[in-house]
Chain A
């Protein structure tokens, strides 16, 4: 049961992280004065 739930949870988390990362590429960080180093090549 746990194994059945875990995969979609992580897949959704991965989608959220990817969207956050992509929205920040090409813009500046909203939360002010530090810009994390973006990945060299995003897929």
Chain B
């Protein structure tokens, strides 16, 4: 049976490069790097193809930049397999982008206080729940956790300031605020349940893990 697994593809590429570069002792590390690169390439290609088709490339670019940047520092809910993450990410980012584009005429006439409220709510959620390490990569110590917390709050404060300065008239302001709120939502217990339900919904095999995509 023809099967495609990103994990296996990463392993194959990593092992091949390790052999050719005479770095056999690093095969596992190179496979991990290859898996990340391949996964990112596939995900970005698909995401931007869908975004271009829906004419929401600008919105998705800002959403991805803000959520991605904050997510590196704050962590958040994870899916248990690559293809589930791929579908969940594409669906949520394009749905958010489409909703923002559709609501832009309405959002641009909203008072600035609504934008400030959105930003403040996000700040509270990051203050309350960040940072969160994935189960397979816990924080090494409390100092490292504290550093991630400080960096998260600093990045969120800077991006909030950008949203406020840009204001309600530009798509950038609302898109940045929406991205911050969405990423904050994935840190909450409800956000974990939401991503978890997508994970269950997209489970094709009862054993889970790296399912073929």
Contact = CB atoms under 8 A, between A and B. Distances in A.
Given A13-B21, A14-B18, A26-B144, A34 B79 contact: yes
Interface in A20-43: 20-22, 24-43
A33 B89 contact: yes
Q: Mostly helix, strand, loop or mixed at chain A's interface?
A: loop
B25 A26 contact: no
A20 B33 contact: yes
A42 B31 CA distance: 11
Nearest to A30: B68
Contact of A32 (B7, B85, B144): B85
Contact of B195 (A6, A16, A33, A37): A33
Nearest to B40: A31
Contacts of B195: 33
B14 A17 contact: yes
B28 A36 contact: no
B26 A14 contact: yes
